[in-house]
Amino acid sequence: MTYKAAKVVIITEKVILEQVAEVIEAHGATGYTVFAAGGKGSRGVRPTGRAAVVDGFSNVQIEVITATHITAEEIAVDVAERFFQNYSGITYLEDVEILRSHKF
């Protein structure tokens, strides 16, 4: 038996990870997952495995699963408004199916 839920994906600079996490938690999300990310975007190429001499300038991908689509949207909009003027980043939503609905 699966339930419908929403997932917000935020790819941004590692240097603001803690601040983004605060925003996510402020919206009542119960948890999130962080991966090291790399790739190419409007602000240049970010390496994945190669040594980044400048610590904190690599990218991270943060994934949050929320019970409702509305919460997911609020998180995405809030993060984009607060940070993406000055920091590089993208964010998008996905519909997902979850197993244990009480976890979210």
Partner 1 sequence: MLFQRNRWNCLMELLLDFLSRFLVQFQTPALAFLVGGMLLAAFRSKLEIPDAIYQFCVFMLLMRIGLEGGLEIRDANLADMLLPAIIAVVVGIGIVLLGSMVLACLPGVKTEDGIATAGLFGAVSASTLAAAMVMLEEQDLVFEAWVPALYPFMDIPALIVAIVLANLYLARKKEGVKAKTRIWPIISSSLRGSALSALLLGLALGLLTRPEIVYEGFYDPLFRGLLSILMLTMGMEAYTRLNELRKVAHWYAVYAAVAPLLHGLIAFGLGYVAHILTGFSPGGVILLAVMAGSSSDISGPPTLRAAIPTANPSAYIGSSTSVGTPIAIAVGIPLYVALAQAVFGV
Task: Give contact residues for partner 1 (rule: CB under 8 A).
Answer: 13, 15-16, 44, 49-58, 86-87
Min dist CB 64 to partner 1, Å, is 22
Nearer to partner 1, 86 or 99 (CB): 86
Nearer to partner 1, 22 or 95 (CB): 22
d(CA 50, CA 33) in angstroms, rounded, equals: 22
Question: Do residues 92 and 7 touch, judged by C-beta distance below 8 A?
Answer: no
Nearer to partner 1, 1 or 51 (CB): 51
Min dist CB 86 to partner 1, Å, is 4
Which is it for strands 59-66 and 3-13: parallel, antiparallel or unpaired?
antiparallel
Min dist CB 33 to partner 1, Å, is 20
10 Å CB burial of residue 44 (0-12, 13-18, 19+) is exposed
